[in-house]
Chains A and B, each alone.
Chain A
Amino acid sequence: MDIRLLQAVPSDTERAAVDAVLGAPASGWDGGVRVNARDSHLAYGGRAMRERRHELVPALQALQARVGWISEGGLGYVCERLQVPPAEAWGVATFYALLATSPRPRRMLHVCDDVGCRDNGGREVEAALVAAGGPAVAHEPSGTHMQLDANTPAWMHSPCLGLCDQAPAVLVTDAGDPAVERLIGRVTADVARALLAGAAPGADALANTVVPQVGDPSLVLLQRVGVVDPTSLTAYRNAGGYAALGRALQLGAEGVIAEVTASRLVGRGGAAFPTGRKWEAVRTQRATPHYLICNADESEPGTFKDRVLLTGDPFAIVEAMTIAAFATGCEHGFVYLRAEYPLANERLQGAITQARAAGLLGENILGQPFRFDIEIRRGAGAYICGEETALFESIEGKRGEPRSKPPFPVQSGVFGKPTLVNNVETLANVLPIVLHGGAAFAAIGTTQSTGTRLFCLSGAVERPGVYEAPFGTSLKALLKTAGASPRMRAVLLGGAAGTFLPAADTDFPLSLEGARAAETTLGSGVVMVFDDSQDLEAAVLRIAAFFRDESCGQCVPCRVGTVRQEEALHRLARGKTRGGAEAEFALLEEIGVAMRDASICGLGQTAYAAVESAVKRLQLFQGGAV
């Protein structure tokens, strides 16, 4: 492809950062030194070059991590290396919130102002930062960018960082070599000021991941979290790790799928699709290769269960992926990990490296003719990339815009090949299923919802954290266990794409059928509690802003609908309705139905869910309290 490249020259630092990811250039054709004897009569490129397109996002991330932003020279060099048209690379770079395309300081604080943090210390942190360093980074109305000095730290707002149990949360990113990323919890105004003044960020909030139920013998998915050293393969194996993989190899691919099907396990990412059926569909696809993707892009506000599994029990995810790959004929696996989880990245990378060294990944796993390896792909700040087809686009080096289904991922997924996508928690369930059999798994929970489920308790609770409970446990009991505030007014169940429930409606069994009967959804397991100290209307406005921010912008119903929804809510909140509150509620309903019916993907289809429940079940925006 004969593309027009940029004239700007990369700095040596930028060149080195990109080469560290892509390797040294092979010739004068892809950014190297032109050697006439070699390069003048032979062009390199074509298909081989196009097949490297998937390295675009990692290369841009390398620039971001090294320099703190993507300059014209840096972008141009990446385009030259991968032969990507600059306009396309610009389109990709401007899509992701954590890739900066205007100068940013080396240190940035990404301060969570989402529903879990804002009323739990977030506002105080924000006030301290405004007082100490001025307003959050944004573009100026004049169409220019805030003038920022590379050496003066700055801050900006962030959607949910997945640290709701340790609110308020801040993600610190220090560009450099090496770059430093830390997710910090329970940030005080003093800590925030110190970070803005350049203080070392200290240890990650999750260095010692524990769960409130630690030591409880009934735990299945969380049994090793906080108990077994997550950085040691030996410790994992001593605790029974990798017994499931051995058993899976004995059962054979079809035997494993038979157990998973018998377990009646359904996906834990939110859609609750039968896992066994998905595995069988991938296994029987004739097109090759098959890909396996562990969806760890957990970005649903209020959700942090996958983070706990990845930091607290990373080997379990590696083992479960290996079993899934064995059963479905995948040789290559990706973990698509949200950018905001640096420690999970470190732990998972450590687990993969150790497993590889021990012959548990790579060729001839456990001496069998079975080959599989795992590559981590980090997100770059886009909730939409948790949608499986947007995730494929992102892995392929493109903007995270969902695809139209059909074709479904099992037929045509990443790189157009059959792809198995499972959420982290779904995969974690595979180990007990293989070890103890599908029937034993199905005996837990209810007849229609089998097994246990992870719930993310946060907000006005005394003991926030991830709780494991068998399906069918009542929400009321779970709230009691976590110590929900006696002044509880409402619960947000299932996340931003879930529903608000008034306190009086929280006595029902947490199962798929129980939630359906209660006209709600378990979604990603979010249980966020609001009491009378919190501003529920402000939380609803934040959710509306979230969907507007996170819409990819591809389809009209979602791109404009999320804007119109937020505007109507702001008119209601500020008493500036067009034709009265009832007219605005009717308009919201019309907008919501159009988004649900006509949007391409689940983001637009669920963007009205929480708003609808806030209006109809909590009776918010009526000028009175609940």
Chain B
Amino acid sequence: MTTTLISIERPTRAPKKPLAFTIDGRAVTVEEGTTILAACRTIGIEIPTLCFLETLRPVNACRLCVVEVEGARVLAPSCSRTAEAGMVVYTKSARVIHARRLVLEFLASSVDLSTTPGMAELLAEYDCKPERYGPPKPHALAGERDAAIAGHHAAPDPDFAATVGQPVMVDNDLYVRDYAKCVLCYKCVEACGADHQNSFAIAVAGRGFNARISTEMAVPLPDSACVYCGNCIAVCPTGALMAKPEFDMRAAGSWNIEAQTTTDTICPYCGVGCTLSLHVQDNTIVKATSPLENSITLGNLCVKGRFGWQYVQPGPSADSATTRDG
């Protein structure tokens, strides 16, 4: 779960005051306004995160990054809590380890984390035993979770642990939504909304364990405000949102990340000049992304850059195409 810290250029302001505090017994000096997480990373202390991304406003919902602040009643989310002078922070206390282990177990026992990068290692590191909550309940039927009524649920089945399992939603040619893999990190909602794209095609609907990412009335994406920029896919930490080619290749067993190379180029479509990272497997483009740390895109693209690269290579769509000279 290692993520590079990105510094985003901001307009020049009055210099921020330095402040000193302690992390795991080590004295740290950071600028005023620095989060505990950022401070930890400057001194090489690794803290796992799931809902945090440098390019999005922290929602501190996953609680994986919690740390103990001396004198505080409860643990603090390091991704959003700013450091204060004299603060004494512990990142590996027994309370912290317990909370992180349980958060990971809660997720692993209720969500399919099989395509979450680094998750297997994290579950092992924290000695998680998600199976102790019982065997996972069979998947809900399509639409069942969308129809839930806030404040009501059926009595639990003592033989199973409830999950968010449900069928994959494949309602367009560009990307799929597999909400059985959704940890409700809010990143896609933020990327679709005011943080990046301003399309507002999706939001969190429902409440409690039935809270879910949804379009209005849970309509299929083609009927929603979605513009297929795919910026939600770019920020999804679990693979719940996945471009169709990757999804199909994974289903066919041909997706091989070790065999892939990444080549950066500039998107050929318009004059903005977004950096495009082409993921290539067997001399075929299988995915297009943009680097998170690119100052122009912040990882974002539009529908053309993210999905419109089939013309480069032979394929069903190229068969009928004619060349300019032809």
Contact B147 A87 (CB under 8 A): no
Tell me if B134 counts as interface (CB < 8 A to partner A).
yes
Contact B132 A87 (CB under 8 A): no
Q: Closest Cβ of chain A: how far from B104's Cβ, in Å?
A: 9
Tell me if B116 counts as interface (CB < 8 A to partner A).
no
Partner of B98, one of A399, A562, A590: A590
Given A87-B202, A87-B203, A90-B203; A563-B98 close (CB under 8 Å):
no
CA distance A491 to B141 in the complex (A): 42
Given A141-B141, A556-B183; A599-B149 close (CB under 8 Å):
no
Contact A567 B156 (CB under 8 A): yes
Contact B152 A556 (CB under 8 A): no
Contact A551 B209 (CB under 8 A): yes
Contact B211 A559 (CB under 8 A): yes
Given A562-B208, A567-B161; A381-B153 close (CB under 8 Å):
no
CA distance A336 to B59 in the complex (A): 25
For A591, list chain B residues within 8 Å (CB): 102
CA distance A529 to B93 in the complex (A): 40
Given A72-B217, A553-B211, A596-B74; A563-B110 close (CB under 8 Å):
yes
Tell me if B210 counts as interface (CB < 8 A to partner A).
yes
Q: Closest Cβ of chain A: how far from B172's Cβ, in Å?
A: 16
Contact B132 A587 (CB under 8 A): yes
Segment with Cβ contacts to A, from B25-33, B36-44, B61-69, B318-326: B61-69
For A102, list chain B residues within 8 Å (CB): 147, 149
Contact B61 A555 (CB under 8 A): yes
Tell me if A382 counts as interface (CB < 8 A to partner B).
yes
Interface size band for A: 35 or more
Contact A578 B215 (CB under 8 A): no
Contact B149 A551 (CB under 8 A): no
Q: Which of A1-22 contact B (CB under 8 A)?
A: 1, 3-4, 6
Contact A143 B146 (CB under 8 A): yes
For B200, list chain A residues within 8 Å (CB): 3, 85, 87-88
A-B Cβ contacts below 8 A, count: 224
Q: Closest Cβ of chain A: how far from B97's Cβ, in Å?
A: 11
For B140, list chain A residues within 8 Å (CB): 143
Q: Which of B149-189 contact A (CB under 8 A)?
A: 149-156, 158-159, 161-162, 183-184
Contact B207 A94 (CB under 8 A): yes
Tell me if A554 counts as interface (CB < 8 A to partner B).
yes
Q: 0/1 per residue, B69-81, Cβ < 8 Å to A?
A: 0000011010011
CA distance A100 to B147 in the complex (A): 11
CA distance A341 to B323 in the complex (A): 71
Closest to B215 in A: A87
Q: Closest Cβ of chain A: how far from B264's Cβ, in Å?
A: 32
Tell me if B144 counts as interface (CB < 8 A to partner A).
yes
Contact B144 A598 (CB under 8 A): no
Contact B156 A566 (CB under 8 A): yes
Contact B162 A563 (CB under 8 A): yes
For A578, list chain B residues within 8 Å (CB): 132, 134
Closest to A5 in B: B225
Q: Closest Cβ of chain A: how far from B13's Cβ, in Å?
A: 19
Contact A94 B216 (CB under 8 A): no
Partner of B207, one of A137, A143, A551: A551
Given A86-B225, A381-B151, A570-B155; A598-B63 close (CB under 8 Å):
yes
For A382, list chain B residues within 8 Å (CB): 150-151, 207
Tell me if B247 counts as interface (CB < 8 A to partner A).
no
Closest to B206 in A: A94
For B152, list chain A residues within 8 Å (CB): 97, 138, 156-157, 549
For B159, list chain A residues within 8 Å (CB): 576
Partner of A564, one of B99, B149, B161: B161
Interface hub of B106, B144, B184 (most chain A Cβ within 10 A): B106
For B61, list chain A residues within 8 Å (CB): 554-556, 600
Q: Which of B43-66 contact A (CB under 8 A)?
A: 59-64, 66
Tell me if B148 counts as interface (CB < 8 A to partner A).
yes
Tell me if B296 counts as interface (CB < 8 A to partner A).
no
CA distance A554 to B150 in the complex (A): 14
Contact A159 B151 (CB under 8 A): yes
Tell me if B107 counts as interface (CB < 8 A to partner A).
yes
Contact B216 A381 (CB under 8 A): no
Contact B149 A556 (CB under 8 A): no
Tell me if B205 counts as interface (CB < 8 A to partner A).
yes
Contact A549 B161 (CB under 8 A): no
Given A89-B216, A559-B184, A598-B75; A553-B142 close (CB under 8 Å):
no
Contact B102 A399 (CB under 8 A): no
Partner of B225, one of A3, A89, A96, A138: A3
CA distance A246 to B81 in the complex (A): 44
Closest to B103 in A: A556
CA distance A101 to B150 in the complex (A): 10
Contact B214 A87 (CB under 8 A): yes
For A91, list chain B residues within 8 Å (CB): 203-205, 214
For B34, list chain A residues within 8 Å (CB): none
CA distance A596 to B102 in the complex (A): 12
Given A85-B225, A95-B206, A382-B207; A90-B151 close (CB under 8 Å):
no
Tell me if B3 counts as interface (CB < 8 A to partner A).
no
Tell me if B298 counts as interface (CB < 8 A to partner A).
no
Contact B74 A560 (CB under 8 A): no
Closest to A158 in B: B151
Q: Closest Cβ of chain A: how far from B76's Cβ, in Å?
A: 9
CA distance A101 to B146 in the complex (A): 11
Contact A144 B214 (CB under 8 A): no
Closest to A591 in B: B102
Contact B147 A145 (CB under 8 A): yes
Contact A598 B147 (CB under 8 A): no
Q: Closest Cβ of chain A: how far from B255's Cβ, in Å?
A: 28
Partner of B154, one of A138, A550, A605: A138
Q: Closest Cβ of chain B: how far from A38's Cβ, in Å?
A: 27
Contact B210 A553 (CB under 8 A): yes
Given A90-B203, A550-B208, A563-B209; A139-B106 close (CB under 8 Å):
no
Tell me if A593 counts as interface (CB < 8 A to partner B).
yes
Contact A598 B206 (CB under 8 A): no
Contact B147 A559 (CB under 8 A): no
For A553, list chain B residues within 8 Å (CB): 184, 204, 206-211
Q: 0/1 per residue, B190-229, Cβ < 8 Å to A?
A: 0001000011111111111111001111000000110000
CA distance A375 to B119 in the complex (A): 49
Closest to B68 in A: A597
Q: A97-B150, A144-B143, A554-B61 are in contact. List 6 more A-B contacts (CB 8 A).
A: A87-B225, A94-B214, A139-B147, A143-B145, A549-B207, A559-B184
6 A-B pairs closest in CB distance: A143-B143, A553-B211, A85-B200, A97-B151, A594-B102, A560-B106
User: Could you name 9 residue pairs across A and B whose Cβ atoms are closer than 8 Å?
Assistant: A85-B201, A139-B147, A144-B147, A559-B208, A593-B99, A594-B102, A597-B95, A598-B63, A598-B74
